[in-house]
Structure 1
Amino acid sequence: MGISADPPERNLAWARELKLPFKLLSDRDGSAARQWGVWDDTWNLTKRVTFVLDRGGRIRYVETGGLAIETDRTLDALTKLARAK
C-alpha cells in the first residue's frame, strides 16, 4: 500500500492513471507519518520514505531520499525478502 498526505480523490485518480496494483491511502493530518517517524516538523509535511515489511509486519528495509528514492534498491530488498520465505 502507499500512504500520502494527498486527499483520497487525488490518490484514487493517480492510482487509476498509473494502474497501480495496490491501494493508496490518505493521511491528511499526518498522524500516520508521525507514528512512523517520517513527519518533517520544519516543513510541516511528510518525508518520502519507502518501508518494506515482512509478513509479520516487521520493517526489513527503509529507503529515504525525497524525489531521488532508489527503486532498484527497494526492488532488490523485496526480491531478497521473497526468496527468504
Structure 2
Amino acid sequence: MTIETGDKAPDFSLIADNGKPFKLSSKLKGNALLVFYPGDGLPVCKQQLCDYRDGFSKFTDLGVDVIAISSDDSDYIKTFKKENNLPFTLLSDKEGEVAKMYDSFGWFGVKRSVFLVDKNFEIKYKHIESVSIYSRSVEELTEMVKRKA
C-alpha cells in the first residue's frame, strides 16, 4: 500500500530518546514533521538533523513539531541527541515497521523522507528522497509548511 498526500497518517508507538513510549496520537497537538532518516552516525543524517536544530525556531514559530525517526536503538539515539544538542524528539524504529507504513523502507533500511501531518492526521506533504545523500533544507520545509498548513 502506498501512502499519499490527503491520506490519513498511520498511528504508531515507538520508543523515544528518553526511553519512554511515544504514541503519535497521544502527542500530536498540531502539525508535525515526521523525518525518517537512515542512521544517527551517518554524515548526511547528522548534517540534516543539525540543520533542523539550527532552524528549530522557524519550525516552532510555524507551530510544527519535528519528530525524527531512524532504525537505531533507543540508547544510540539518546547519545546522538545529546552529542548534537537536538531539541526535538528522536524515535527508534528498530525493526523498520513504522518506516514501512510510511513507504520509507527499502533495500538498505530506512529511506530519507519527510511527511507533514496535521492535527487531524491528514498527510499534507510527502517527500521521499530518491538518493539518500540529499535532504530537504529548513528553508524548503518552512516554505512548504507555509503553503500547506
Bin for the TM-score computed over the shorter chain: 0.7 to 0.9
What's the counterpart of residue 124 of structure 2? 60
Structure 1 unaligned spans of 5+: none
Aligned to 2:105: 39
TM-score (norm 2): 0.48
Whose helix fraction is larger, Structure 1's or Structure 2's? 1
Residues 1:19 and 1:78: Cα distance change in structure 2 (over 3 Å): farther
Q: Provide the aligned length of Structure 1 versus Structure 2.
A: 80
Asked if 1:14 corresponds to 2:80, the answer is yes
So what's the TM-score if we normalise by structure 1?
0.79
**What is the rounded CA distance, in whole Å, between the counterparts of 1:15 and 1:73 in structure 2?**
23
Deviations along 1:27-63, whole A, 9 cap, x unmatched? 11111111111111xx241111011111212111122
Corresponding residue for residue 3 of structure 1: 69
Instruction: List structure 1 segments (4+ residues) > 2 angstroms apart after TM superposition.
Output: 78-81
Structure scoring higher RCO (CA < 8 A, sep ≥ 6) equals: 2
Contact map agreement 2:115 2:124 (CA 8 A) in 1 = yes
Unaligned runs of 5+ in 2: 1-66
Identity rate, percent:
26
Aligned equivalent of 2:93: 27
